[in-house]
Amino acid sequence: MLRPQTSATRELQNLDGLWQFKVDFKEEGFNAGWAAKQLDTDIQAAVPASYNELFTDTKIRDHVGWVWYQRKVRVPRGFAGERTFVRVDSATHEGAVFVNGKEVARHVGGYMPFQADITDHVTVGEEILLTIAVNNVLTNETIPPGRVVTSAAGVKQQTYLHDFYNYAGLARSIWLYSVPAAHIDDVTVVTDFEGNTGSVNYKAVITGAGSATVKAALVDEAGAVVATAEGANATLTVPNVKLWQPGNAYLYDLVLRVTDGDKLVDEYTLKVGVRTVRVAGNQFLINNEPFYFTGFGMHEDHVTKGKGHDNAFLVNDFEVLKWVGANSFRTSHYPYAEEVMDYADRHGIVVIDETAAVGLNQSFSSMFGGPKLPTYGPETANEKTQAALLQAVRELIARDKNHPSVVMWSVTNESETGIQEAVDFFKPAIELTRELDPTRPNTYINVMTQPFDKCLVAPLVDVICLNRYWGWYEDHSDLASAEVHWVDELKGWTEKYDVPIVITEYGADTMAGAHSIHNLPWSEEYQAAYLEMNHRVFDLFPGVVGEQVWNFADFQTKPGIFRVLGNKKGVFTRDRQPKAAAHTLRARWNTLHNRKPAGN
């Protein structure tokens, strides 16, 4: 799905700001036709932002079900004669869009954009009443899954098996845009290079333009056209190509123009980085050079805004990544805002791009006294859940396939993978990533309880990612034993599998400001010592090609006896100030990168 933009033929209007807001406590909004008239409310919600922590009312924070957003929008006169679309960058987890009371779009899946052609419902120059209803409910058939229960006190509650808090609402931008009736609907770019010569193959899908011609120009950062081609599917040859490299990004503009005789029908510009990604034995190659991932599993998470996208936070997060010497991150545990992906492209940060399939592991329930259900079964992950996962994979690749920063697709985080049902459940999704994108390796993120002699999904993927907490959840406060166990375990994995292994989580909860001369857990000293122990282990194994600490920053979680107002495994506090461990990482990652080939 192409992102909307302004061009010679396209207009774009951003609809962020304050929207009228009403929580549907009595589940009446649909039947009472709330979308057809002005919402009866005296509160407003900021868009983009999760709504949960904008207000002081705990009932709003904990609400389970629909909330309603509404505003008036004047359709610009410049849209005359064109198709008008409304686009929602995300509605967590289900969104319904209404124009003047008429439902025009519905979408399930909280971290993906969706849109509707509303041309037939609007008149240019006139105002419309735009309403978006958003539902935060997670069931066993959504990705991520969850379950709504009624508490002993009779209150409806949302339960789920992932750690991060279930922030909801309109956390990303809303747009109104126009495109010509005949337009470029999609573009897929695949890049390669040989010596100094780059190639950019593009495939454009054009809607409604029978006799039109497609012309492509590749423009360098100085504004010079370096290659041209004709046709909806063609390859541009780039002499003296400047590669997109980790830490040293170079982006070309691919300008596509559809013409009919002398008439410009449509124009669209896509940023393109020329680079290759490949797995060879136990190495992960970017531009044919071994790449070592340093960085973090992250979260879209900030005070007040929750998962709300904010460009100031974006810039600062990337500044902090650079400061600490990180060259990569994983979009744990859901796809991030498209602005984040663009910024990663621009700044040469490498991304492992993950679906929202987290919490498909019922042992996380029974561990804390919850019901003991099988992970896969009619009442838990069933065919509908699997269909939702396949949809999540399709949408993720459709959205992010052209980002040079994305080097790998992660299908799931910490699912139960040691039983045949897991193979049946995940194999189609893993194969789907290869079918939709043969140019990038795939992976899944393995949980500690499903080691090399148990996990059945590991043989299916190109790269194995491990989340390990030796010295935290296991061998707690005993780093010496943790080190022995960790070395043993990695021996097992590397002897069994000749594929690259990335450690995608290792971390220790740490209260900023807590200190201990004895390196006791929760102190800043323990976190630093814990990381150093892990690094000694990683350095023994050439097949370990990356380390991403859990987590970049402290973040909000569902309440739990292991959580002190959230997860404190951040190397940075929630407001992005360094704990002692940040300096440990900074020292290591800077020397590590100096030792490795350029860009590593």
Closest-CA residue to 236 (of 245, 244, 246, 225): 225
Nearest residue (beta carbon) to ligand BDP: 163
Annotated active-site residue 505? The verdict is yes
C-beta closer to ligand BDP: residue 226 or 389 = 389
For residue 413, the minimal CB distance to ligand BDP (Å) is: 5
For residue 414, the minimal CB distance to ligand BDP (Å) is: 5
Distance CA 19, CA 35 (A): 13
C-beta closer to ligand BDP: residue 320 or 358 = 358
**DSSP secondary structure letters along 139-188:** -TTSSS-EEEEE-TTS-EEEEESSSB----EE-S-EEEEEE-SSEEEEEE
C-beta closer to ligand BDP: residue 85 or 555 = 555
- 264 DSSP β-pair partners: 259
For residue 397, the minimal CB distance to ligand BDP (Å) is: 22
Q: Does residue 443 belong to the site contacting ligand BDP (CB under 6 A)? A: no
Closest-CA residue to 286 (of 397, 411, 408, 462): 408
Q: Are 97 and 345 contacting, i.e. CB atoms less than 8 angstroms apart?
A: no
What 3-state DSSP class applies to 538?
A: helix
Which of the residues 267, 338, 354, 414 is marked catalytic?
414
Q: Does residue 489 belong to the site contacting ligand BDP (CB under 6 A)? A: no
Q: Does residue 267 belong to the site contacting ligand BDP (CB under 6 A)? A: no
Residues 77-136 that bind ligand BDP (CB under 6 A): none
Distance CA 369, CA 372 (A): 8
Amino acid at 534: N
Q: Are 50 and 79 contacting, i.e. CB atoms less than 8 angstroms apart?
A: no
Q: Does residue 413 belong to the site contacting ligand BDP (CB under 6 A)? A: yes
Amino acid at 223: G
Site map (CB under 6 A) of ligand BDP, residues 279-318, x = contact? ----------------------------------------
Site map (CB under 6 A) of ligand BDP, residues 459-478, x = contact? --------x-----------
C-beta closer to ligand BDP: residue 296 or 550 = 550
Q: Does residue 567 belong to the site contacting ligand BDP (CB under 6 A)? A: yes
Distance CA 242, CA 257 (A): 24
Closest-CA residue to 174 (of 65, 367, 18, 346): 18
DSSP 497: -
Helix axes 479-496, 524-538, angle to 10 degrees: 30
The distance between the two most distant Cα atoms of the chain, rounded to a whole number of Å, is 78
For residue 390, the minimal CB distance to ligand BDP (Å) is: 22
Residue selected from 85, 165, 318, 550 as contacting ligand BDP according to rule CB under 6 A: 550
For residue 555, the minimal CB distance to ligand BDP (Å) is: 8
Which of the residues 267, 395, 416, 505 is marked catalytic?
505
For residue 167, the minimal CB distance to ligand BDP (Å) is: 14
Site size toward ligand BDP, by CB under 6 A: 10
Residue selected from 53, 89, 163, 317 as contacting ligand BDP according to rule CB under 6 A: 163
Q: Does residue 505 belong to the site contacting ligand BDP (CB under 6 A)? A: yes
What 3-state DSSP class applies to 48?
A: coil
Annotated active-site residue 414? The verdict is yes
C-beta closer to ligand BDP: residue 167 or 550 = 550
Which residues in 17-172 belong to E strands, given as ranges? 17-23, 43-47, 49-50, 66-74, 83-88, 94-99, 102-108, 114-117, 127-135, 146-150, 156-160, 169-170
Residue selected from 89, 414, 462, 525 as contacting ligand BDP according to rule CB under 6 A: 414
Per CB under 6 A, residues contacting ligand BDP are: 162-163, 333, 413-414, 467, 505, 550, 567, 569
The residues assigned a catalytic role are: 414, 505
